[in-house]
A and B are shown apart, each in its own frame.
Chain A
Amino acid sequence: MDETTNPTEAQELTPWDRVQMARHPQRPHTLDYIAALCEDFTEFHGDRRFGDDPAIVGGLAAFAAHTVMVIGHQKGSDTRENMKRNFGMSHPEGYRKAQRLMRQAEKFGIPVICFVDTPAADPKKESEERGQGNAIAESILVMTNLRVPIIAAVIGEGGSGGALALSVADRILMQENAIFSVAPPEATASILWHDSAKAPDAARALKLTAQDLYQLRIIDEVVSEPVGGAHQNPQEAITILGARLRANLDTISQIEIPTLLKQRYQKYRVIGHYREA
């Protein structure tokens, strides 16, 4: 991606171009969206078990006419912040903090909005020791039957189980240059072809763009970005996504909880392609 991309070229972005845009350091991140879209954001910390993970942020905020629990992966915009945020790769305590906040949202009948932006879950030794697999599994479980509306917005990289742990939702929105993938394309290329340099080929094969995933009916809505991508005009990107979040939240807040849970069950239950002989 070079900086001079114009709208006509934008029609022909390759999946690998989208990966680069999704990872662009100047792309707005979770806290940028919260700061611009919400009032009275009050950040909560800690999983009450081990520690606080700066790679996931969350708390209560006023959004449109609602009090919401906002939770999101948080990447940094520079190296220093990225070190602090572990590049948005959450540890088990990050997922456990998210679970805690979701349970609290359920307790008070507050809708949940998740911002998804992570390359993957943290793959370090310490995360294994503290049960990374269990933490992600618990997050998925909490979201399957949480008795409040959940909206997930993929605003950058939706990488593997680490992303899924914040995106089991009633509505999944995805920005047009965001990606959502079973694994980072470098990992897929390494697993299948033993060469992470083949990531651009993996990016194409994986069908990880918002447009592909809308066609595959994995996501509910593709949200447009300013010309050249969200990093070119963060304020506009935030405004556009904010409007779509508000519209979706207004709609699903009207649905009775038992109906909402039935619809959520059905939404995930039908995902899959197989032949019945």
Chain B
Amino acid sequence: MKEFFRRRKTSFTTGGQSEGNPVPDDMWVKCSACRELVYKKELTDNLKVCPKCGHHMRMSAHEWIGLLDAGSFSEMDTNLLPTDPLGFVSLGESYAEKLAKSQQRTGMPDAILSGVGMIGGRHLALAVGDFAFMGASMGSVYGEKLSRAAERAADLGIPLLTINTSGGARQQEGVIALMQMAKVTMALTRLAEVGQPHIALMVDPCYGGVTASYPSVADVIIAEPGANIGFAGKRLIEQIMRQKLPAGFQTAEFMLDHGMIDMVVERNQLPATIGRLIRLYGTRRDPSERRDPVEQMISAITYP
């Protein structure tokens, strides 16, 4: 078990794969929201939130590790690799080619990074998706790593933080991908049994089978300002269902207004917010002690 907590060096780099158009000299980045040029170092220091307009740019899974206490993260289950279980016959690029390209681009074996780390000096299990890897689509590796993260958190008696950004289930793995929604939800029941919380952070964009499974039933759901979150994509609703959508539809603020999430939190406030939650959940009485034995409860009943 100690093995889980051994610190491994994880480098925190700004990947070129995520949002923000590079401009020639690579020192400056153009914000995709306000189109202003931002000094790259300043942007990195600001957790990729545009200092000019506050736009929260997308982060790679490795960049998200920056939320944890410095040097506290140990990555796990790095040996799980994707396969092509259906022998998916694609009319375009093959599944294997797509995987190889994404692996090269992100340096990750699949769309999710998981392990154990700390926030505010308290342990937690972490699983974080990387949108640059096939839209962080949920396939077998995603489902297995997340399930192991949940079970590990349950075994260790620590909270689970999931950082979710996804286009949905991975088409190339068919129903096997769809079933990962049930599998991960199943694994999370173990965490519930030991009375540890699942905190879900939803970041831009989060859609389909991921929105329709584990993050939406987390104990606490946090979203970043302006993040697009929904089940059906906007294009589908507009073009196939022919409905006009109001401005701000499916944003984090829209989700908050409709009662679907607990809070919208700016990126620089996330460590403090999550740290506070873990502290609050962590200092309550053990749930197994909370209930008195039935006999005591019965004898305590008084009748007028």
Chain A, interface size: which category? 35 or more
**Is B91 in contact with A201, judged by CB distance below 8 angstroms?**
yes
Tell yes or no: A37 within 8 A of B by CB: no
**Is B182 in contact with A164, judged by CB distance below 8 angstroms?**
yes
Tell yes or no: A10 within 8 A of B by CB: no
**Is A144 in contact with B189, judged by CB distance below 8 angstroms?**
yes
For A258, the chain B residues whose CB sits under 8 A away are: none
Tell yes or no: A118 within 8 A of B by CB: no
Cα distance, A121 to B230, chains bound together (Å): 13
**Is B213 in contact with A137, judged by CB distance below 8 angstroms?**
yes
For A3, the chain B residues whose CB sits under 8 A away are: none
**Is B171 in contact with A274, judged by CB distance below 8 angstroms?**
no
A271-B208 contact in complex given A125-B237, A131-B260, C-beta closer than 8 Å: no
Shortest Cβ distance from B141 into chain A, in angstroms? 5
Q: Contacting A137 at CB < 8 Å: which of B88, B176, B214, B229?
A: B214
Shortest Cβ distance from A134 into chain B, in angstroms? 4
Tell yes or no: A191 within 8 A of B by CB: yes
Shortest Cβ distance from B140 into chain A, in angstroms? 4
Where chain A touches its partner, the secondary structure class is: helix
Shortest Cβ distance from A157 into chain B, in angstroms? 13
**Is A182 in contact with B185, judged by CB distance below 8 angstroms?**
no
Cα distance, A51 to B67, chains bound together (Å): 42
Which B204-238 residues have a C-beta within 8 angstroms of A?
Answer: 208-209, 211-217, 229-232, 236-237
Q: Smallest CB-CB separation from B79: which chain A residue?
A: A277
Tell yes or no: A227 within 8 A of B by CB: no
**Is B186 in contact with A269, judged by CB distance below 8 angstroms?**
yes
Q: Smallest CB-CB separation from B206: which chain A residue?
A: A133
For A207, the chain B residues whose CB sits under 8 A away are: 86, 174-175
Tell yes or no: B27 within 8 A of A by CB: no
For A38, the chain B residues whose CB sits under 8 A away are: none
A182-B183 contact in complex given A161-B213, A207-B175, A277-B79, C-beta closer than 8 Å: no
Tell yes or no: A240 within 8 A of B by CB: no
**Is B171 in contact with A188, judged by CB distance below 8 angstroms?**
yes
Tell yes or no: B249 within 8 A of A by CB: yes
**Is A275 in contact with B171, judged by CB distance below 8 angstroms?**
no
**Is A182 in contact with B169, judged by CB distance below 8 angstroms?**
yes
**Is B174 in contact with A269, judged by CB distance below 8 angstroms?**
no
Tell yes or no: A127 within 8 A of B by CB: yes
Shortest Cβ distance from A46 into chain B, in angstroms? 19
**Is A128 in contact with B174, judged by CB distance below 8 angstroms?**
no
Cα distance, A71 to B80, chains bound together (Å): 38
Cα distance, A171 to B92, chains bound together (Å): 36
**Is A125 in contact with B181, judged by CB distance below 8 angstroms?**
no
Tell yes or no: A265 within 8 A of B by CB: yes
Which A215-252 residues have a C-beta within 8 angstroms of B?
Answer: 216, 218
For B182, the chain A residues whose CB sits under 8 A away are: 140, 143-144, 164, 168, 268, 271
Cα distance, A94 to B129, chains bound together (Å): 30
Tell yes or no: A48 within 8 A of B by CB: no
**Is A124 in contact with B241, judged by CB distance below 8 angstroms?**
yes
Q: Smallest CB-CB separation from B211: which chain A residue?
A: A133
For A273, the chain B residues whose CB sits under 8 A away are: 83, 85, 140, 173, 176
A269-B250 contact in complex given A121-B231, A133-B230, A182-B178, C-beta closer than 8 Å: no
Tell yes or no: B24 within 8 A of A by CB: no
A182-B212 contact in complex given A124-B243, A140-B185, C-beta closer than 8 Å: no
For A183, the chain B residues whose CB sits under 8 A away are: 169, 171
For A125, the chain B residues whose CB sits under 8 A away are: 237, 241, 243, 245, 249
**Is B175 in contact with A268, judged by CB distance below 8 angstroms?**
no
**Is A133 in contact with B79, judged by CB distance below 8 angstroms?**
no
For A127, the chain B residues whose CB sits under 8 A away are: 231-232
Which B77-122 residues have a C-beta within 8 angstroms of A?
Answer: 79-83, 85-86, 88-92
For B217, the chain A residues whose CB sits under 8 A away are: 134, 137-138, 140-141
Cα distance, A123 to B186, chains bound together (Å): 25
Shortest Cβ distance from A56 into chain B, in angstroms? 16
Of the A-B pairs whose beta carbons lie under 8 Å apart in the complex, a sample of 9, sorted by A's number, is A123-B232, A161-B169, A161-B181, A182-B173, A183-B169, A206-B86, A218-B179, A268-B186, A272-B143
Instruction: Beyond the given A205-B174, A216-B86, please list 14 additional residue pairs across the A-B interface where CB-CB is below 8 A.
Output: A123-B241, A124-B241, A133-B211, A133-B229, A133-B260, A137-B185, A144-B182, A182-B177, A182-B209, A192-B172, A205-B89, A206-B171, A207-B86, A275-B82
5 closest A-B pairs by beta carbon, nearest first, are: A123-B232, A273-B85, A133-B211, A272-B140, A137-B216
Contact surface of B with A, Cβ cutoff 8 Å: 79-83, 85-86, 88-92, 140-141, 143-144, 147, 169-183, 185-187, 189, 208-209, 211-217, 229-232, 236-237, 240-241, 243, 245, 249-250, 258-260
